[in-house]
């Protein structure tokens, strides 16, 4: 397991893909849900994404824009459009309002000049939060990359109405999000998070994969160095230089992120159960480490965080 896979595993589409295929200018679709992540791509035609805070971003065929919530945004035919905004939440415009946005599983034969696909992503827990913190409010990826193949698959699937379509489209949207984020992190002149760039290093990348694959193992720097085939001092320096913190500091923060999610997701798990799951034989030592990193005891965190966990 690599760091990116671990961070994105809590971000999954589930009934959240919509197709808008009867958009004729002027239009203004205001996406009001403020989802943690919303992916927007255009199959044909063009428009503009207007974030709540920030300049308009053009969106042309096969380009992708990801908007990070909770701020809302609008998809318009052009900046300053004369169209009255139509609020898009769980349901959106009807055909007589100039545009349709439908949950997949519905069939739409609209042949408007612009076909928009959006996917609103829930992002649950601490693991997802660590990924969101690495992203700007709006990021864009041009066409011509690995995501083009996914767009072709999306277009083909939207053209039919078959059993299981929702599941297929959800998974295609997940694929599209992964392709988009990877291309954005790897863009020329970009400033990806330290953990992303460090994954490419043969030594530190190996160490990160080990820590993510076996977070509860009794790791020491010496043990980690032995598994990666370098000296203890070499690993310690190289890891700190590329990741920005020592290996065991990274491990502790990762364990506490895992523990935070376990405390909320597993109501029946005791603090001792969670401690063992993330590599602590002593629940008191775990509680002390959790409070040092999270600023609250495990019990306090569970009490305050549980009501905020999104449903589903």
Tell me the per-residue pLDDT of 213-262, one tens digit each, with 9 for 90 and over.
999 999 999 999 999 999 999 999 999 999 999 999 999 999 999 999 99
| Sheet containing 37-44: order of strands | 102-103, 17-23, 114-121, 37-44, 64-68, 138-141
The answer to whether 3-185 and 197-308 have equal CATH topology is no
Question: Top-level CATH class of 197-308?
Answer: mainly alpha
Which pLDDT score is estimated for 306?
62
Strand, helix or coil for residue 222: helix
Question: Top-level CATH class of 3-185?
Answer: mainly beta
* CA atoms of 238 and 241, how far apart (whole Å): 5
pLDDT tens figures, 2-33: 888 888 877 776 655 555 556 788 889 898 88
- Which has the closest alpha carbon to 37: 11, 64, 57? 11
* CA atoms of 56 and 74, how far apart (whole Å): 9
| 138-141 vs 28-31, strand pairing mode | unpaired
pLDDT tens figures, 155-209: 888 778 888 887 888 888 889 999 999 999 999 888 889 999 999 999 999 999 9
């Amino acid at each position: 397991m690599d760091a990116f896979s671990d961070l994105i595993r809590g971000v999954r589409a589930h009934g959240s893909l919509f197709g808008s295929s009867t958009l004729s200018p002027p239009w203004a679709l205001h996406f009001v849900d403020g989802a943690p992540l919303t992916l927007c791509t255009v199959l044909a035609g063009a428009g503009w994404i207007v974030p709540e805070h920030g300049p308009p971003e053009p969106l042309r065929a096969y380009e992708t824009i990801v908007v990070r919530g909770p701020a809302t945004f609008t998809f318009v035919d052009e900046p300053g459009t004369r169209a009255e905004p139509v609020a898009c939440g769980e349901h959106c415009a009807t055909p007589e309002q100039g545009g349709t946005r439908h949950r997949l599983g519905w069939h739409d034969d609209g042949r408007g000049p612009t076909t928009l696909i959006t996917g609103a992503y829930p992002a649950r827990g601490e693991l997802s939060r660590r990924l969101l913190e690495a992203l700007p409010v709006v990021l864009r990826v041009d066409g011509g990359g690995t995501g083009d193949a996914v767009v072709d698959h999306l277009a083909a699937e939207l053209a039919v109405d078959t059993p299981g379509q929702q599941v297929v489209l959800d998974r295609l949207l997940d694929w599209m999000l992964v392709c988009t984020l990877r291309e954005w992190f790897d863009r020329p002149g970009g400033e990806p998070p330290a953990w992303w760039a460090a994954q490419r290093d043969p030594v530190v990348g190996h160490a990160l994969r080990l820590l993510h694959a076996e977070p509860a193992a009794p790791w020491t720097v010496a043990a980690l160095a032995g598994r990666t085939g370098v000296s203890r001092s070499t690993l310690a320096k190289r890891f700190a230089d590329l990741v920005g913190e020592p290996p065991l500091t990274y491990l502790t923060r990762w364990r506490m992120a895992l523990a935070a999610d376990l405390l909320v997701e597993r109501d029946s798990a005791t603090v001792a159960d969670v401690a063992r799951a993330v590599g602590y034989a002593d629940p008191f030592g775990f509680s002390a480490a959790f409070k040092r990193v999270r600023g609250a005891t495990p019990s306090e965190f569970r009490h305050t965080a549980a009501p905020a966990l999104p449903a589903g």
